[in-house]
Amino acid sequence: MMKANPFVAKLIGKHTKLLTKIKENGVLLNNAVKNLFDKKGFCNSGSGQKLLKNIKQLECEAKAYELENIQLRDSLSKLKKQLELQIRGNQPGNQEPQLLDKQHGCERRESDRKLVTKGTAKRPAPRPSYKEVKKPRQQLDRDYSPAVRGKNIKLGLTGLRNLGNTCYMNSILQCLSNTTPLVEYCTSDRFKSHINSDNQTKGQVIEEVAAILKKLWTAKFKSVACNDLWHIVGQFGESFRGSAQQDAHEFLTLLIDFLQSDVQTMLVDPRTDRMITPAKTAWNEFTKCKESFILQLFYGQLKSTIKCRVCATDSRRYEVFSSLSLDLPPNADVCDLKECLDMYFGSGGVEGWNCPGCRKKCDAFKKLDVSVLPPVLVIQIKRFWPSPQAGGGYEKKKTLVHFPLEDLDMQPYVAPLEFELRPDIPKKYRLYGVSNHFGSIGSGHYKALCKSPVYDSWFQFNDQIVEAVDMSAVVSRAAYILFYTCLPRKPLDG
Ligand SMILES: [Zn+2]
C-alpha cells in the first residue's frame, strides 16, 4: 500500500541537499570570520571590505537556508501527520499526491497573504524565495529575518532565532522582554522623548531594543531575529562582534550600560534634596545629575566600609552597580542563595590598612552593604572560575543554588543608618527571569526561563522555541543570571 511517493522522495532529497548547503555555508562563514580576525589592519584595506561583503552575503545565504529549512521541516511534519491519518483511516494510498497538492495550495495561499498586495492575490504565486520574503519589510530599515509568522501566538511568547551562537543575547533579551516596566517604557515610545544625542551610541541601542520588544509583543510571530540590535551592539562593543559564543552576563552589563546612557537626560537638581549624604554625593557624581528610567530601574549602589580596629576611624567608598556577582561557596555541591549573599556582604579582616586616624598601618574590618536597592535586582551566580587544572583557563561550577522564587529578603544587606535614596522601595523581591547556561564554558548553550507577566506562569525561551514549564524547573544547576523585582505585579504606572 505504501509505495514510495515521488513527492516525498523529492522532499527528502531537497532536505538532504539543504543540510549539505548549510554545512558548507557554515564552513565558509567560519573561514571568512577567521580570516578577518587573523589579519590585523585588514579591516581598513580594500580586501578587508571585500571580505566583509562576502561575509554579509554568506550570512544572508545562511539565513535563507534556515528559512527554507523551517518551511521544509513544516512540510515534512504535515506530510507525516497526513500519512499517519491515512494509515489509521485505512485510506487508499493513491490519494496522497492530491492531499499533498492541497496542502501546498494552503501554504501558497498563506504566503500570498504575506507577500502579495490586495487585489493581486488570485493568481497562484510560486513558492517564495528568501529574497521575496525579505522585500516587503514593515519597517524599511530593520531586519527581523528569518521571521516566522504564526497563528494564535500568545502575547509576549515569541521566540528569537539564533544568528550563530547568539543564544546568550536571546536569553538576555527574553528576560528583558519579561521586565514589565521596561517593555512599557519601550513599546509606548516614552523613551523617545529622553533620547540622548550626546553619547557614544546616540540612542541607537534603545531604539533597537524597543523595536525588538515591540516585535516580541505583537503576538504575530512564532519567532523573529534581532539582526540590527546584534549589529549595533557589535559596533560599539567590540567583543560582541562576530559569531563566537559570548558570556550572557557581560552582554547584559554592556547592554544595560548602553541603554542607560541612551536615555540619560532627566536633569536632577541636587539642591532639592533634603539632606546630602556621602551616598547621595557619590550617586550624583556617577550620574552627573542626569538620570534615566533605566538607571532608576536597574541601578543600585554599594557601600564599602573599612574601619580601623584600633581607633575606629572608617573610610567609605560607594560604587554603582547594575548587577551583583556572587561567588559560590568553595567545595559545595549544593547551597542556598542566602549563603552566597552572606558571603558577598560578609565582613572580613584587612591587614595593614593605612589608617588615616592612626597615621600608620593597622588591622581593620571590611564590610560591604547595599546603600541603594534597585527595583530590578540582577544577580549573577559566578559559575566560571579560573582553574589551575584548566591551565589558566576557566572552568564551570555546576553547584546547585537554591534561590527563592518569592520573598528574597534584601533587608539584612541594606546599609544601616544610611540616608535612603529610595526610601519607599520594598526589600522583598520575587523572581521573574533566569538566564540558564548549559554545557561547558567552551561549548555551552543559553536558554531563558521567564515568568510571563500576562499569564503569571513560567515559560522556557530556547532561541526560537517557547514552551510552558513547571515552576519546579526554575531552580536548577544551570541557573546563571537571576532577575528579581520588588515591584508589585501590576505594571509600574498602574
Ligand atoms: Zn586607626
Question: 367 CA distance to ligand 1 centroid (A)?
Answer: 16
Tens-digit pLDDT profile for residues 218-233 = 999 999 999 889 988 8
Over residues 69-94, the mean pLDDT reads 61
Task: Tell me, in angstroms, the distance from the centre of ligand 1 to residue 366's CA.
Answer: 13
The pLDDT, as a whole number, for residue 94 is: 37
pLDDT at 345: 95
pLDDT band at 92 (very low <50, low <70, confident <90, very high): very low
Question: Where exactly are the structural domains of the chain?
Answer: 1-34+50-87+99-113
Q: With pLDDT > 70 as the criterion, what percentage of the chain qualifies?
A: 74
To the nearest whole percent, how much of the chain has pLDDT over 90? 52
In sequence order, what are the beta bridge partners of 224? 160
State pLDDT tens for residues 275-304: 778 888 899 899 998 999 999 999 999 999
* pLDDT average, residue stretch 124-146: 48
| DSSP-derived pairing of the beta strands 479-485 and 348-355 | unpaired
> Is the confidence at residue 355, as pLDDT, over 80?
yes
Interval 75-88 mean pLDDT = 67
Mean pLDDT over residues 30-52, rounded? Answer: 62
Q: Which three cell numbers stand for residue 29?
A: 562563514
Cα of 313 from ligand 1 centre, angstroms: 5
What is the CA(354)–ligand 1 centre distance, in A? 8
Report the pLDDT value the prediction gives residue 276, as an integer from 0 to 100. Answer: 77
Residue 101 pLDDT: 32
Between residues 129 and 322, which one has the greater pLDDT? 322
Lowest mean pLDDT segment, chosen from 214-228, 250-264, 419-433, 445-459: 419-433
155-195: per-residue pLDDT in tens?
A: 999 999 999 889 999 999 999 999 999 999 999 999 999 99
476, 472, 466, 477: which is closest to 178 by C-alpha? 466
CB atoms closer than 10 angstroms to residue 92 = 8
pLDDT for position 12: 73
26 or 378, which is more confident?
Answer: 378
- C-alpha separations of 320 from 181, 317, 341 in Å: 21, 10, 17
**How far apart are the C-alpha atoms of 249 and 193, rounded to whole Å?**
29
pLDDT digits (tens, 9 = 90+) for 391-422: 777 889 999 999 999 999 999 999 876 656 67
The whole-number pLDDT of residue 83 equals 72
- What pLDDT does residue 262 have? 96
Residue 2 has pLDDT above 60, yes or no: no
Q: What average pLDDT does the segment 15-20 reach?
A: 73
3-state secondary structure string across 318-353: EEEECCEEECCCCCCCEEEHHHHHHHHHCCEEEEEE
Residue in 15, 106, 167, 175 annotated catalytic: 167
pLDDT at position 344 is 95
Residue for grid cell 567590540:
238
Interaxial angle between packed helices 204-216 and 180-187, expressed in degrees from 0 to 180 and rounded to the nearest 10: 100
Least confident of 52-66, 125-139, 303-317, 357-371: 125-139
Instruction: Choose the weakest-confidence range: 20-24, 150-154, 299-303.
Output: 20-24
| Phi, psi of 134, rounded to the nearest 5 degrees | -75, -30
The phi and psi torsions of 160 (rounded to 5 degrees) equal -120, 125
- What integer pLDDT is reported at residue 80 of this predicted model? 67
Q: Rounded to an integer, what distance in angstroms lies between the CA atom of residue 410 and that of residue 283?
A: 20
Told to judge if 167 belongs to the known catalytic residues of this protein, a careful annotator would answer yes
Query: 360 CA to middle of ligand 1, Å?
Result: 7
Output the CA 414–ligand 1 centroid distance in Å.
25
Q: Determine the pLDDT at residue 72.
A: 65
Average pLDDT, the chain: 81
**Euclidean distance between CA atoms 304 and 141, whole angstroms:** 47
Q: Which helix (H) or strand (E) holds 111?
A: helix 96-115
What was the pLDDT predicted at 411?
A: 92
In this predicted structure, what is the pLDDT of residue 38?
A: 60
Cell 561557596 belongs to residue: 329
Q: Which of 218, 191, 157, 156 is nearest to 297 (CA)?
A: 191
Residue 21's pLDDT band (cuts 50, 70, 90): confident
Calculate how far, in angstroms, residue 358's C-alpha sits from the geometric centre of ligand 1.
Answer: 4
CA of 365 to the centre of ligand 1 (A): 11
| Spacing, Cα 308 to ligand 1 middle (Å) | 5
* 120-136 mean pLDDT: 32
- 246 class by beta-carbon count within 10 Å (0-12 exposed, 13-18 middle, 19+ buried): buried
pLDDT at residue 13, rounded to an integer:
77
Q: What is the DSSP letter of 173?
A: H
Dihedral (Cα; 109, 114, 117, 119), 10-degree rounding: 20
Q: What are phi and psi for residue 104, nearest 5 degrees?
A: -70, -30
Q: According to the model, what pLDDT value does residue 494 have?
A: 34
- Catalytic, 450? Answer no
Query: Could you give the CA distance from residue 221 to residue 226 in angstroms, rounded to a whole number?
Result: 13
Residue with the bigger pLDDT between 442 and 310: it is 310
Confidence (pLDDT) at 32: 66
Cell of 286: 556617577
The one catalytic residue in 15, 104, 231, 445 is 445
